[in-house]
Amino acid sequence: MKVLEKLLSPVGSPRYASAVVLASLLAALVGFTPAPAAAITRTQVLARAHSWVAKRVIYSQRARYAGYRRDCSGFVSMAWHLRTSYTSRSIHAVARRISLSKLRPGDAVHTPGHVAIFVRWKSRARHTYVAMEESRRGRPAMHHVRSLGRGATALRYRRIVEAPRVIAAVAPSTDATAVVTAAGALPLYILPRSDAAPSL
């Protein structure tokens, strides 16, 4: 979780990965409709991508790991939990193109011949970003700071879902912290006042 908190923290804003996990628990408690099996959350995408980084899976256009080709598009296919390894050309079939300014963690950045998972912006001007990727022969999956090169496009997996966002505040006249979902669920007083509220 500490790894995901670090990855998800955009420049100049607090960390909120722990809130995403708490939101998932709250979703089950307040009766949110579960997503279809093919759907995946942004937190899950980043966790899957990071698993290859942690295991230092070496790039290969032929070999496979856990059923996926070990190149750039195979890596994105694995992170998005697709049924097969797409290529950097065919990955568009399961994604929709979005504006670069709308990139969010778990989306992908496509450049001619390459595709990588977007983690966060590195610069306030949004000219550079942190990616997780398989990049070249002999190198393992890694975090990499990249510049938005010419021809870069942003892709969003069509089945990615947003985890409900939580809002934390101290409840009046009580010794608990009120956690309210953005969807408007009733407050659930489940966190002791002495505990830190989730980072947003």
Domains annotated for the chain, with CATH where assigned, are: 33-161 (3.90.1720.10)
pLDDT tens digits for 23-63?
Answer: 444 444 333 334 444 799 999 999 999 999 999 999 999 99
Residues linked to residue 180 through DSSP beta bridges, in sequence order:
167
User: Model confidence at 64, in pLDDT bands (50, 70, 90)?
Assistant: very high
Residues linked to residue 143 through DSSP beta bridges, in sequence order:
132
Predicted TM-score of the model (pTM): 0.67
pLDDT tens digits for 100-119?
Answer: 999 999 999 999 999 999 99
pLDDT tens digits for 180-195?
Answer: 333 333 333 333 333 3
pLDDT tens digits for 141-188?
Answer: 999 999 998 899 999 999 999 876 544 444 444 443 333 333 333 333
pLDDT tens digits for 89-100?
Answer: 999 999 999 999
Residue 59: closest CA among 126, 139, 5, 1 = 139
- Contacts with 157 (C-beta within 8 Å, 6 or more apart), sequence order: 40, 45, 80, 94, 95, 106, 107, 108
Checking if the pLDDT of 76 tops 70, the result is: yes
pLDDT score recorded for residue 191: 32
Residue 69: closest CA among 80, 81, 78 = 78
pLDDT score recorded for residue 188: 35
